[in-house]
Amino acid sequence: MKKGILIAFGELFLKSPGVQKIFKRKLINNLHFFLKKENFDFEIFPQRERIFVEVKNLEKAKKKIKNIFGISWFAKSLFFERANLKEVSDFIAKNYKNWIKENETFAIRLKKGSEIKESGKKIIEEIAKNIKRKVDLERPKREIFVEARKGGWFLYFKKEKGAGGLPVSSGGKVLALISGGIDSPVASYLMAKRGTENIWLHFHSFPLVSQKSIEKVKKLAQIFLNFQPKLKIYLFPFSKVQTEIKLKSPPKYRILLYRRAMVKIAQEIAKKENCSALVTGESLGQVSSQTLPNLEIIEKAVSVPILRPLIGFDKEEIIKMAKKIGTYEISILPQEDCCTLFVPKHASAKGNLKEIEKIEKNLKIKEAIDQSKKEIEILNY
């Protein structure tokens, strides 16, 4: 008998058998990485529909496993490897008093693989006959979960909700624009949940302002490494581009010009890193640059898709999620954001694409970008 954690998949069963196999392997690799990183003594036993992790420190392991994407639910479990019904039934008969008090009702919840010869009815009857407690199938005080699989039998008592989604790296790579504020780390988290590996790009205005935003991004990275095994960050000095735009463009269009320059830079880095899309923390209507007309103007600057997982979220919902994943307290720390440095008092909520493209022709943005590229800093976590 082995003690550990039983893991159930979520959306993997919607995939074809071949894709399931690939995704399952990625999930196992992620489990191995995160548990090894924390120096757990463990062994992984893959099953057809489950993964069992034999590990000693169950409570600590649970805290790590609950953040790994691709897991529907998990449970502290006993694993009877290559056992038979009688061995499992005898064990339950000897120990059920430790799980079910004398005045408590119980129910057996059985799941068995097609390769198990005994019928479900026979299995339940064999186990239940030695449990001297009252049965209540509708509202039992205690539940005994039994799973009969080809590789052995599992016994557990409580399911806990996993992180859901798909295993990180199963959905390709994206480049996330991270400001250091509340929204963008949440957007990146949601993309990781959908199986993408995130690379981060942060625009800063040092030395015109302090390095507070850079330090915040580094702290946010440490939180994000709870969800993704590794993280690459590009720190792009944006002050030369901003200065060029500020000096030679009308105030009402500066934010849009900044954003278009940012996504152009991001597209170039995305292609270099084989990322299939850009990710932003934009939410529809939250600020003037995030109206539908202005989002369209920003998108027209590039050909790569821009994904906005927070587009339908309100600020309260985003804050709630930021608190849940642990980024909120870092995100609200004060900083001089690279866009707020040169933000005009009144930005246009409905820009004109032809006017903006005409302004861009008279700007030396490409030259400013090329000069700034020499000062890019790359961090690998």
CA distances from 22 to 167, 171, 264 (A): 10, 11, 33
Would you give the distance in Å from CA 207 to the centre of its chain?
33
Crossing angle of helices 254-272/365-373, nearest 10°? 50
State the pLDDT at residue 343. Answer: 60
Q: Which residues pair with 50 in a beta bridge?
A: 8
Per the prediction, the chain carries an average pLDDT of 92
Task: Output the domain CATH number for residue 150.
Answer: 3.30.2130.30
Q: Please check whether residues 101 and 6 belong to one and the same domain.
A: yes
For residues 103 and 198, is the Cβ–Cβ distance under 8 A? no
For residues 172 and 305, is the Cβ–Cβ distance under 8 A? no
Q: Please check whether residues 280 and 369 belong to one and the same domain.
A: yes
Range of the domain at 8: 2-164
Q: What is the pLDDT of residues 183-233, one digit of tens each?
A: 999 999 999 999 999 999 999 987 777 788 899 999 999 999 999 999 999
Q: Please check whether residues 135 and 241 belong to one and the same domain.
A: no
Q: Please check whether residues 366 and 308 belong to one and the same domain.
A: yes
Q: What is the 3-state secondary structure (H, E, C) of the chain?
A: CEEEEEEEECHHHHCCHHHHHHHHHHHHHHHHHHHHHCCCCEEEEECCCEEEEEECCHHHHHHHHCCCCCEEEEEEEEEEECCCHHHHHHHHHHHHHHCCCCCCCEEEEEEECCCCCCCHHHHHHHHHCCCCCCECCCCCCEEEEEEEECCEEEEECCCEEEEECECCCCCCEEEEECCCCCHHHHHHHHHHHECCEEEEEEEECCCCCCCHHHHHHHHHHHHHCCCCCCCEEEEEECHHHHHHHHHHCCHHHHHHHHHHHHHHHHHHHHHHCCCCEEECCCCCCCCHHHCHHHHHHHHCCCCCCEECCCCCCCHHHHHHHHHHHCCHHHHCCCCCCCCHHHCCCCCCCCCCHHHHHHHHHCCCHHHHHHHHHCCCEEEEC
Q: Please check whether residues 117 and 249 belong to one and the same domain.
A: no
Residues of the chain with pLDDT under 70: 335-346
Q: Please check whether residues 194 and 135 belong to one and the same domain.
A: no
Boundary (domain end) residue, out of 139, 164, 189: 164
Q: Please check whether residues 106 and 190 belong to one and the same domain.
A: no
Boundary (domain end) residue, out of 109, 129, 164: 164
Q: Please check whether residues 200 and 125 belong to one and the same domain.
A: no
Q: Please check whether residues 227 and 347 belong to one and the same domain.
A: yes
For residues 177 and 278, is the Cβ–Cβ distance under 8 A? yes
Boundary (domain end) residue, out of 112, 144, 164: 164
Q: Please check whether residues 107 and 151 belong to one and the same domain.
A: yes
How many alpha carbons lie under 13 Å from residue 17 in its C-beta half-sphere?
A: 1
State the pLDDT at residue 207. Answer: 73
Q: Please check whether residues 148 and 199 belong to one and the same domain.
A: no
How many distinct structural domains can be found in the chain? 2
Task: Output the domain CATH number for residue 373.
Answer: 3.40.50.620
Q: Please check whether residues 249 and 103 belong to one and the same domain.
A: no
State the Cα–Cα distance between residues 213 and 217, nearest whole angstrom.
6
Phi, psi of 290 (to 5 degrees): -110, 25
Q: Which amino acid is at 259?
A: R
